[in-house]
A and B are shown apart, each in its own frame.
Chain A
Amino acid sequence: MVRTEPLPPELRAQNLEIEEIARSAGLDFFQVIFELLDARDVNALAAYTGFPVRYPSWRFGMEFERLDKGYSWGLSKIYELVINNDPTYAYLVRSNSQMEQKLVMAHVYGHADFFKNNIWFQPTERQMVSVMADNGVRVRRYIDTYGQETVERFLDMALALDDMIDPYLPLREHRKRKAPVKRRATPLERARRSLDATFAGRSRPEPEKEPNREAPSPERPAADLLGFLMEAADLPEWQRDILHIVRSEAYYFVPQRMTKIINEGWASFWHSRIMTRSLLGASDVVDFADCHSGATASQPGQLNPYKLGIELFRYAEEKGMDLFRLRAVHNDVSFIDAVIDEEFARRSNLFLYQRNPRSGRMEIADRDWRPIKAQLLSSLTGGGVPQIELVDADHEGRGELCLRHHFDGRELQLDQAGETLKQVARIWKRPCHLLTQAEGSPLRLSTDGEEISRVETAEAAEDAAEGGDDRLAG
């Protein structure tokens, strides 16, 4: 671990007080463990997305470089990090003022409650700290065996596809699995399982394969491309395992991507409430207001999830909605759908902006709440990444993959799509195709992993159109 230390007595006392207030307000969380770190270490942890034990990759170094420079030039500062885990780990920055530490701790309890109770987090791995450590160990072992560059190249390929998963899959699976009464394994069973795992050469059993998975087809498209490749591609075991690692980590993070606004809104709502109702001394008020408004400020033209989220919760409370229920059942999309109405849009000064083709600049285009809401919903759907599904794993009987981009009016960046498709083809080891649209006409990208060809096809048009219909119907 990093250099951490138990909280100094004063903070510890404060923590106990805040925990008590949070509980009596109705928040419900796993045990929260706070640790105090230097800003640099927090930046390093944040670069590792909160886990100090991840596999080696230049990507984390790149992220650290950005955070570190931002910090040393006084441009950005991380106040806190919370890890969805049981127990929940939270890191405080040593340089925070007393008031900031209080605010941050209250904020953390909001997140901790959200992690434990929001339905999208129910299927997440709650022992992620040790899973990540395991994954790191295995990747390091592969590096020792096959060389850093070889492993890194494959890892880069897999990471290019890490949003090619089905955000709704874990919850479906979770519900299916929930049906039989959950029984805790006896110590003997656990020991046996870990022994088996050791002999199988991996420290963690693979998730059970779904026995009833049918071959993807235009009628049954598969959004979990990574899962498909992991199971069906012809790969050496270590590469399959890397796909497994990338996929499991992606599934762990996907609920956080889907609940950015509601999660930050919930935590901000609670830090504000706890601070202003119970904790704030007279001497802290100005500092608190300064810090709080800094976190919830909006740049013109930008949407701050903290600000939008807290306003949504406050509005919902005003309207007499059950806040605890809201935080339990919604993700960003359904939350916004449930709460935003005409009054909210007007009060929160929401607007729709578009590029004005004549002046070339971004301009406020509309203040009517319906298009605003529609735009918000569509931009958040699928976590803001293009929806691409596998529609055929044996395209024209040649064992080639056919992917379809669910076209919603937003075009793909074609150069990058072609390059990414190449990665798919390299993993699959057969040609791959992608159906999409560009400049209003349907298009098929095809690649064998080396060359890319573009064909405008009527066929692609039909497929894409069908895809749209499927989506709406489903």
Chain B
Amino acid sequence: MHRIERDRSRFRQIVRGRLRKDLRKYLSSTELLGRRGDKAVSIPIPQIELPRFRFGDNSKQGVGQGEGDEGDAVEGEAQDGEGAGTAGDQPGQHILEVDVDLKELAEMLGEELQLPNIEPRGDRQLSTEGGKYTGIRPTGPKSLRHFRRTYDRALRRVIASGDWDPAAPKVIPVHDDERIRNRKSVNKPESSAVIFHIMDVSGSMGREQKDVVRIKAFWIDTWLRSQYDNLEVVYIVHDAVARIVDQETFFHLRESGGTKISSAYELFLDQVLERYRPEEWNIYPFHYSDGDNWSARDTERCVGLLRDEILPRVNQFCYGQVKSAYGSGQFKKDLDGALGEEEKLITAAVDDRDGVPEAIRAFLGGGV
């Protein structure tokens, strides 16, 4: 039933905020409680409930059916209308969120996000993938015989030879009639891309700030790796000096120290010039910090580096700033002030964990 699929996809798009933004404020998530094995699971169901004239909660009383004395608690409050869910019958049990949430988040990322401005670059442009049976040839394995074409030729031959008898329409293909499907390989252009995750690990980045950054980087990283085959990822951490680390270190490192952002930008630039030349690579740096740089002089230097050296070489530069109790948040203002006109520079502020999806959208929303 394709109609319902259209209505469902419209509903999903509304839930994801791509259509009818006026409805977002009525969005809530109810849940179905279910059971998987011996565990209680909760299946989130997004619902949009438009306002209408209905009774408030204050007047709740009702009629039920069952055993019990006056004063006994009633489990599972009566609800108007029908609900498909069954009320949990064992109080105090822990309920697991089903991984549906995670899967759907990934699906959402997959539908909505893309690497912006990606272009085919580099020498590994062609890759062969699978292939489709779209060709036809006269010989080959019988199991791939194209029945219709074979029959078609046989029919022509029979008619042409004058053997055709409409009263007894018998058509027997001979070897010459046979047509066999042939596999044709499909060349897919492929783009090489490199992602740089640059994180500020200085003392002013508290535990919470680092967590927010890591959550964000984790999602961007997970999603990009799942989407692009030819993807390289470089992790850079910096305080007053910058260094390249591996993924494990990036997500678990705790450090402290001063902040000199230019150190990271220089290291990044070195990498671009030496290993990931812009002619061959799509380059996407993501920089996360609390925006508290060591000095205004260094910030100036960063702006200069970005404007003259970095932005011309990358596809998009993303700067995500986490709110911090100590940080001034000055760096984002400086960037926006000096380079606000640059299309390739995207800056986003993240207040807390809840802001992460929005920031990811800002970075990878594909200019939607």
Contacts and interface: CB of A to CB of B under 8 A. Distances in A.
Interface string A168-187: 00000000000000000000
A302 B69 CA distance: 16
B53 A388 contact: yes
Interface stretch (A103-111, A315-323, A358-366): A358-366
A222 to B, nearest CB: 15
Contacts of A69: 32, 43, 45
B244 interface: no
Interface string A151-167: 01100100111011000
Contacts of A256: none
Contacts of A298: 64-66
B60 interface: yes
A2 interface: yes
B76 A61 contact: no
A364 B69 CA distance: 7
B83 to A, nearest CB: 9
Interface string A56-91: 111111101111011001111000000000000000
A351 B43 CA distance: 32
Classify chain A: how many residues form its interface, as a range. Answer: 35 or more
Interface stretch (A227-235, A236-244, A303-311, A458-466): A303-311
A74 B62 CA distance: 29
Contacts of B9: 61
A73 B10 CA distance: 23
Interface string B68-107: 1111111111111100111100000000000000000000
A281 interface: no
Given A65-B45, A300-B75, A365-B70, A376 B63 contact: yes
Contact of B63 (A152, A375, A385, A411): A375
A191 to B, nearest CB: 31
Contacts of B50: 156, 159-160
B296 to A, nearest CB: 47
Contacts of B69: 364
Contact of A417 (B53, B58, B68): B53
A401 B110 CA distance: 49
Given A60-B7, A308-B65, A420-B52, A303 B59 contact: no
Given A149-B20, A349-B67, A75 B85 contact: yes
Contacts of B276: none
Contact of B20 (A44, A152, A385, A409): A152
B76 A300 contact: yes
A74 B34 contact: yes
A115 interface: no
A58 B77 contact: no
Instruction: Kindly state the interface size class of chain B when it binds its partner.
Output: 35 or more
B87 A299 contact: yes
A365 B68 CA distance: 10
A211 B33 CA distance: 53
A128 interface: no
Contact of B10 (A3, A44, A58): A58
A28 B52 CA distance: 38
Interface string B249-291: 0000000000000000000000000000000000000000000
A371 to B, nearest CB: 9
Contact of A364 (B32, B34, B54, B68): B68
Given A2-B1, A163-B53, A363-B72, A300 B64 contact: yes
Contacts of B59: 409-411
A44 B4 CA distance: 6
Interface string B1-21: 101101111111010000110
Nearest to B58: A411
B51 interface: yes
Nearest to B65: A298
**Residue of A65, A350, A375, A417 ringed by the most chain B CB atoms within 10 A:** A65
Contacts of A413: 54-57
Contact of B11 (A61, A304, A384, A416): A61
A75 B51 contact: no
Interface string B334-361: 0000000000000000000000000000
Given A58-B11, A69-B43, A304 B52 contact: no
| Most A CB within 10 A of own CB, among B8, B71, B87 | B8
CB-CB nearest 9 A-B residue pairs: A61-B11, A61-B7, A419-B51, A76-B84, A61-B8, A301-B74, A416-B51, A410-B59, A44-B4
24 contacts: A58-B10, A60-B4, A61-B4, A61-B12, A62-B11, A75-B32, A149-B19, A153-B20, A160-B51, A299-B76, A300-B64, A300-B74, A301-B62, A349-B65, A350-B65, A361-B74, A364-B73, A365-B70, A375-B63, A379-B62, A386-B54, A386-B55, A411-B56, A413-B57
Interface of B: 1, 3-4, 6-12, 14, 19-20, 22-23, 32-34, 41, 43, 45-48, 50-81, 84-87
Given A416-B51, A416-B53, 17 more contacts: A40-B1, A47-B4, A62-B48, A64-B4, A67-B84, A73-B34, A299-B87, A301-B62, A303-B64, A303-B78, A350-B64, A351-B70, A361-B74, A362-B73, A410-B55, A416-B52, A417-B51
